[in-house]
Every structure is written in structure tokens, then in C-alpha cells.
Amino acid sequence: MILVTGGTGLVGAHLLYQLTQKEVKVRALRRTTSSISQTEKIFSFYTSQPEKYYSKIEWVEGDILDIDSLLQAMNGIEKVYHTAAMVSFNPKDKAEIMETNVTGTANVVNACLGKKIKKLCYVSSIAALGRAGNNGITTEKSEWKKDQKISSYSLSKYEAEREVWRGMAEGLKAVIVNPAIILGAGNFNAGSSRMFQTVYNGLKFYTRGINGYVDVNDVAKAMILLMEGNFSGERFILNSEDLSYKKLFEIMAQSLGVEPPGHKAGMVLSELSWRLLKVQSLLTGKKPLITRQTAKTANRFYHYSNEKFVKATGMRFTPMAESIKRTAKIFLKDK
């Protein structure tokens, strides 16, 4: 039997959908405050019979911060996919990010060791990788350097990975995946999926930066391949391709039938934007769309190599233009 943490999130829901297409028993961990309706909705994006597959999931209440509930959830489990995480670049969320991503992962690792789980797959992030700089290509071996410019989210993912490596040293078989920015159909009012809503509403500006992107369905497929294959003690970058923000938003706009952003926002405008949105956030109580960290990232040039994963598995990633068009179609239908 397989256990998935974070089954109500974008990656977790898509992973559950793909697992329910197989002849395996699946259990998903959810917090008491989490709604599972979004997961069922994601199933409906890909099949006319979502209940047929959704009903295969055994949902159990628990929390990765509660070791006892984790141990109970792992009864009868052979493999664990750990996708649960908190994603935020708001400095105010630092304590919660570190607790959820680091302490939570440590608990998952300890529970896996205690229950003698055969294999763990941990979903990390490219944020946990060393940055090769504007002219270099980041690989799994790029050196990670801690400095004041690193976000709390990046630090949390790096420290969480260390917990997984510690578990491997203690005898746990595990693989780590480092996805680029994940795009796909999910909650279009939150996370990376929110970009489709933003572009649809009439985004006016783009930044000069470049970043890596990958389709959420490819992330789920890659995780299953690594868990079913003879892989352990390794990490793999999951990146389809690197795109400029200008190109990304142009593809999105074309797919959504709206005008693409026509004005470039340099560092000065980006710095002004996050400051204004911070003030707005203080007045409204809502989390800002742009933070100091995301404004800086959007003006940097990041390149990532997927060579190791492609050579190891033979899997080819979905071109991002195809991924974006498919997601935009779902977004328009959902509206």
C-alpha cells in the first residue's frame, strides 16, 4: 500500500490521480482543516468519471507535525510519497514554513524508519539547489551557499532535504526530486496556477528574468518512475525547459485569448511594486501577490539541467507551450 502526504495540494492531487490509474492501494493523509474537494475537482479535469478513481483513495486524518498520527497512517504501508509542504515567500511566514517543511519532513523520515518503510520519495524544489549564476547551468551537484538573500522557503527545503539524507544514512531507501516552477490545473486562485488568472485578468508588465518550468503531470509521472525503478540515495532535477517571463506570459496570453503584457518592469519598478503591495497587504490583511524575494527572483536568470533524470529514466518532458495550452483550456472551461 502507498501513502501520500499533501494529497490536497497541486502535486499531491495529480500524483493521487495517476496512482489511482494503477492496480495499487492508495492512502492519503489530510489535516482535519483541509478540504478534499479540490482534489476531486482536479480529477474531474482529466476524466468524465472522477468518482470512479477518487473513491479508490483511503483518506485518513493526520498531520506531519504529529508523529503519532504519521505512525498510525503508515500502518500497512510500503512506500511513501511526501509532497506536503508550505510554499510562501512572505518573511512573516518564516516560523511556520520552517516548522512545516523541516520539522514535518523530519517526522516523516523518522516515521518511515520506525515503520521500516521500503522507500520514500520526497518532493523538494529547485529552491534547495545551489545557484549557478546568470551564465551557468544548475545541476544536482551545484553548491548550495547560505546567505541573507536566500528566502525562508529555500532554506526550509534545503534543511528538509538534509533530514531525508540523514534518513538515508540511517538505512532508509529514498529519492529526492527537485521540480522547477510547477504549472498545471489546480486552484487558479492560489500558488503557481494563479498565474493563469493573473494573465487572464490583464497583466500589463513582465520582468526580464528567466526560470525553469515543468508540467505537474510530468512531476507526478517522474516520481512514480523513480519509486518503481531501482533508484535510491539520489536527487533529480525535474525541469522541462527554461523560459523568459516575457515568453511565458506571451504563451499564456495567447492560450487564454487575451493581450500579453507589453511593458518591461525593471528593477526600479519591481522594487516599487513589492513595497506598494506590502502596504496594501497591511491594510487589507491579504497576502501580497509580489514580495521582495519574488521581485528579485523575477529579474534574475536561472538555467537548470534535466540531463541526469532524462538519462536515468528515458522520460521526455512535455514542452511548456503544450502544457500551458492544455492548462489554459481547463482554466477557461472551469470559469
| Domain harbouring 237, CATH code | 3.40.50.720
Q: Average pLDDT in the 44-54 region?
A: 92
Mean pLDDT, residues 149-156: 85
pLDDT surpasses 80 at 281? no
According to the model, what pLDDT value does residue 93 have? 86
Residue 39: is its pLDDT beyond 70? yes
| Stretch 103-116: mean pLDDT | 97
For the segment 231-251, the average pLDDT, to the nearest whole number, is 95
Q: What's the domain count of the chain?
A: 1
The DSSP output letter for 304 is B
- Average pLDDT of the segment spanning 29-40: 88
Residue 117, domain member (yes or no): yes
pLDDT at 252 over 60: yes
Tell me the mean pLDDT in the region 62-78: 96
pLDDT at 292 over 60: no
Residues 20 and 56 sit within 8 Å (Cβ to Cβ) = yes
Mean pLDDT value across residues 57-86: 96
User: How far is CA 313 from its chain centroid?
Assistant: 21
Any domain includes 164: yes
Res. 321: pLDDT tops 60? yes
pLDDT at position 288 is 52
Decide if 232 is inside a domain.
yes
Inside any domain, residue 113:
yes
- The pLDDT of 48-53, averaged and rounded, is 91
> Which has more confidence, 281 or 87?
87
Q: Is residue 35 part of a domain?
A: yes
Question: How far, in Å, CA of 61 to CA of 69, rounded?
Answer: 8
Among residues 76, 85, 78, the alpha carbon closest in space to that of 105 is found at 85
Residue 10: is its pLDDT beyond 60? yes
- From edge to edge, which strands make up the β-sheet containing 181-183? 181-183, 210-215, 241-244
When pLDDT is averaged across residues 12-30 and rounded to a whole number, the result is: 95
Decide which of 35 and 138 is more confident.
Answer: 138
* pLDDT value at residue 55: 92
- Burial class of residue 245 (count of CB atoms within 10 Å of its CB; 0-12, 13-18, 19+): buried
**pLDDT > 50? residue 269:** no
Cβ burial, residue 75 (10 Å; 0-12/13-18/19+): exposed
Residue position matching grid coordinates 540515495: 233
Cα separation, 228 vs 245, in Å, equals: 35
21 belongs to a structural domain: yes
pLDDT surpassing 80 at residue 279: no
74 confidence band (pLDDT: 50, 70, 90): very high
Average pLDDT value for the chain: 88
**The domain containing residue 50 runs over which residues?**
2-186+212-243+303-320
The whole-number pLDDT of residue 106 equals 98
- pLDDT of 267 higher than 80: no
Provide the grid cell at 44: 474531474
* Domain-embedded: residue 282: no
Within a domain: 202: no
pLDDT at position 299 is 66
Per-residue pLDDT at 103 exceeds 60 = yes
Distance CA 173, CA 194 (A): 35
Of the two residues 230 and 203, the one the predictor is more confident about is 230
Check pLDDT > 70 for residue 275. Answer: no
DSSP β-bridge partners for residue 235: 176
Q: Using the predicted structure, report yes or no on whether residue 285 has a pLDDT greater than 60.
A: no
In the predicted model, what is the mean pLDDT of residues 241-259? Answer: 94
